[in-house]
Amino acid sequence: MPTVIVATGNPGKLKEMQVYLTPLGWDLQLKPKDIDVDETGTTFMENARLKAREVAIATQQWSIADDSGLQIDALDGAPGLYSARYGKDDQGRIDRVLRELKDSPNRSAQFVCALALARPDGTIALETEGICPGEILTGAQGSGGFGYDPIFYVPSQGKSFAEMSRQQKETHSHRGIAFAQIMAQLEQLELG
């Protein structure tokens, strides 16, 4: 069973990736705590590549990384790369987005997930970007999920992320879309 290091210290992110990668039979492990990667990229893809590359080189193992966030058209793409730091907690981030959008008629937004897989020498073997188009609601709907899920509405599903079942969100989210795009290629890879 090949070992692949998930370029994060977040156990929740590891669990999320395991859902998508289970069919591959990989042994997914968190990056060692002593490896810190500065996310200095200017795009989600640059940050995903950076994390995958640096962790792969440091551990001399295959490494997979993602970088994701929310982009809101009326806010010129904000919060974007700063999605996780747009407030001190989930409610603070939601409140800030709603405050900044006010009564804007343009509620268009998208969640983006960039994925990168690096070989043990740091070269990028595969990458993709999943995009889930949606809209920002004027208030929270639903009690599931986390982060911006209660205010991110997916018109094709008629629900916010927070109203979706776990299976629906896994299929229709930016992360689900990214993994669906790359799974066939991952299945062809020889990690030995």
Domains, the chain, ranges and CATH? 3-188 (3.90.950.10)
Which is more confident, 192 or 97?
A: 97
Query: What is residue 13's predicted lDDT score, i.e. its pLDDT?
Result: 85
CB within 8 Å of 116: residues ≥ 6 apart: 45, 48, 49, 51, 52, 53, 64, 65, 66, 124, 126, 127
- Region 8-23 average pLDDT: 90
Which is more confident, 145 or 70?
A: 70
Contact assessment for residue 64 and residue 116, using Cβ atoms and an 8 Å cutoff: yes
Report the percentage of the chain scoring pLDDT > 90.
92
* Residue carrying the six token digits 């859902």: 19
Contact assessment for residue 162 and residue 145, using Cβ atoms and an 8 Å cutoff: yes
Report the percentage of the chain scoring pLDDT > 70.
99
Reply yes or no on whether 38 is catalytic: no
Query: What is residue 190's predicted lDDT score, i.e. its pLDDT?
Result: 86
Query: What is residue 184's predicted lDDT score, i.e. its pLDDT?
Result: 93
- What pTM was computed for the model? 0.94
Query: What is residue 21's predicted lDDT score, i.e. its pLDDT?
Result: 95
Query: What is residue 9's predicted lDDT score, i.e. its pLDDT?
Result: 87
pLDDT score of 10 more than 90: no
Query: What is residue 44's predicted lDDT score, i.e. its pLDDT?
Result: 98
pLDDT score of 192 more than 80: no
| Residue of 67, 76, 89, 95 with catalytic role | 67
Distance CA 120, CA 124 (A): 9
pLDDT-derived band at 169, boundaries 50, 70, 90:
very high
Query: What is residue 175's predicted lDDT score, i.e. its pLDDT?
Result: 94
